[in-house]
């Protein structure tokens, strides 16, 4: 009877598993050397594949936008370093897609032939493939703590606007001690913490708390000026 190998997945709120690896930008010590910065660590199934190519071109084109949020990018696949280098050269020299061309990928792409890193992060999903990493995304904060995770199947490209929005929302939540509602963008109303006592809930519902709008005792929002949010989340 064939044994099923279980690959653990780190959890939100845990420290990001540490590792040292060879990349297209030299050796890295993760997440130690990224302390003080937000990081998106993401995996792709294989070099020289079309969905992955579209993703890397998009990420590379948005790298400066993420950098303005003090967020760095780190990619991974289970292919080797020379394959990575050849693929990234092909992207720059030959591929034109959706107005993007001559795209140079400057962020590190991890060589993970042994799948050691992929297994630490639960990127190998046996239901999809035993030898390829699915499209996993880990958003890691400046203290090295995993704050969000998103997993996509091999066949589905990621939504990069959502990844950018997610970093903005996480930074805003930290900065202002709030939560963000569905589809939140800077300038939209934010959610204030749920009332911790009957008295506070009563005051909110009776309109005694200035600047807070309550849809019910547990669901209250307030305005947060767009410029104030952007100034806070774009500071280093």
Q: What is the pTM of this model?
A: 0.91
Split at pLDDT 50, 70, 90, the class of 11 is very high
Instruction: Answer for the pair 129, 5: CB distance below 8 angstroms, yes or no.
Output: no
Split at pLDDT 50, 70, 90, the class of 199 is confident
Range of the domain at 216: 177-233
Instruction: Answer for the pair 69, 233: CB distance below 8 angstroms, yes or no.
Output: yes
User: Phi and psi of 50, rounded to 5°?
Assistant: -65, -45
For the domain that residue 64 is a member of, what is the CATH number? Answer: 3.40.30.10
Is 151 a member of any domain? yes
Split at pLDDT 50, 70, 90, the class of 236 is low
Residues 30 and 77 in one domain: yes
The rounded mean pLDDT for the chain is 91
Q: Please determine, for residue 1, whether its predicted confidence score (pLDDT) is greater than 70.
A: no
Radius of gyration of the chain (CA): 21
The predicted model gives 139-148 an average pLDDT of 98
Identify the pLDDT of residue 2.
Answer: 42
Is 36 a member of any domain? yes
Per-residue pLDDT reduced to its tens digit, 166-190: 999 999 999 999 999 999 999 999 9
Cα three-residue angle 58-63-65, rounded to 5 degrees: 105
Q: How far apart are CA 122 and CA 153, in angstroms?
A: 13
Q: In the chain, what percentage of residues exceed pLDDT 90? A: 78
Q: Please determine, for residue 141, whether its predicted confidence score (pLDDT) is greater than 60.
A: yes
Q: Please determine, for residue 18, whether its predicted confidence score (pLDDT) is greater than 50.
A: yes
Q: How far apart are CA 29 and CA 129, in angstroms?
A: 27
Q: What is the largest CA-CA distance in the chain?
A: 67
Provide the domain count of the chain: 2
Q: In the chain, what percentage of residues exceed pLDDT 70? A: 94
Cα three-residue angle 188-206-199, rounded to 5 degrees: 100
Residues 105 and 28 in one domain: yes
Active site residue 52: yes
Residues 118 and 53 in one domain: yes
- 72-81, 125-134, 147-156: which has the minimum mean pLDDT? 125-134
Identify the pLDDT of residue 217.
Answer: 84
Identify the pLDDT of residue 130.
Answer: 67
Establish whether 135 is an annotated binding residue. yes
Q: How far apart are CA 175 and CA 230, in angstroms?
A: 11
User: Both ends of the chain: CA-CA distance in Å?
Assistant: 54
- Number of other CB atoms surrounding residue 83 within 10 Å: 17
- Number of other CB atoms surrounding residue 89 within 10 Å: 12
Residues 152 and 201 in one domain: no
Residues 141 and 82 in one domain: yes
Residues 123 and 45 in one domain: yes
Which residue among 135, 160, 185 closes a domain? 160
Residues 147 and 186 in one domain: no
Instruction: Answer for the pair 37, 69: CB distance below 8 angstroms, yes or no.
Output: no
Q: How far apart are CA 72 and CA 39, in angstroms?
A: 5
The predicted model gives 32-41 an average pLDDT of 97
Q: Please determine, for residue 91, whether its predicted confidence score (pLDDT) is greater than 90.
A: yes
Instruction: Answer for the pair 49, 87: CB distance below 8 angstroms, yes or no.
Output: no
Residues 117 and 210 in one domain: no
In terms of Cα–Cα distance, which of 68, 213, 44 is closest to 129? 44
Residues 153 and 210 in one domain: no
Instruction: Answer for the pair 219, 191: CB distance below 8 angstroms, yes or no.
Output: yes
Residues 37 and 154 in one domain: yes
């Amino acid at each position: 009877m064939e044994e099923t190998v279980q690959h653990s997945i780190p959890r939100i709120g845990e420290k990001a598993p540490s590792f040292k690896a060879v990349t297209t930008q030299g050796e890295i010590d993760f997440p130690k050397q990224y302390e003080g910065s937000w990081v998106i660590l993401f995996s792709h199934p294989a070099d020289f594949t079309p969905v992955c190519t579209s993703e890397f071109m998009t990420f590379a084109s948005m790298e400066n936008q993420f950098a303005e949020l003090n967020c760095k990018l780190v990619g991974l696949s289970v292919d080797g370093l020379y394959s990575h280098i050849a693929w990234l050269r092909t992207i720059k020299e030959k591929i034109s897609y959706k107005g993007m061309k001559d795209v140079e990928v400057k962020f590190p792409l991890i060589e993970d032939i042994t799948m050691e890193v992929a297994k630490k992060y639960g990127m190998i999903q046996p239901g999809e493939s035993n030898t390829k990493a699915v499209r996993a995304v880990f958003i890691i904060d400046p203290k090295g703590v995993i704050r969000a995770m998103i997993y996509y199947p091999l066949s589905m490209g990621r939504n990069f606007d959502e990844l950018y929005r997610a970093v903005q929302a996480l930074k805003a939540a930290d900065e202002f001690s709030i939560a963000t509602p569905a589809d939140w963008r800077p300038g939209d109303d934010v959610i204030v913490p749920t009332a911790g006592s009957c008295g506070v809930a009563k005051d909110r519902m009776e309109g005694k708390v200035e600047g807070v709008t309550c849809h019910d005792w547990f669901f209250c929002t307030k305005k947060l000026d767009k410029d104030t949010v952007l100034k806070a989340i774009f500071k280093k």
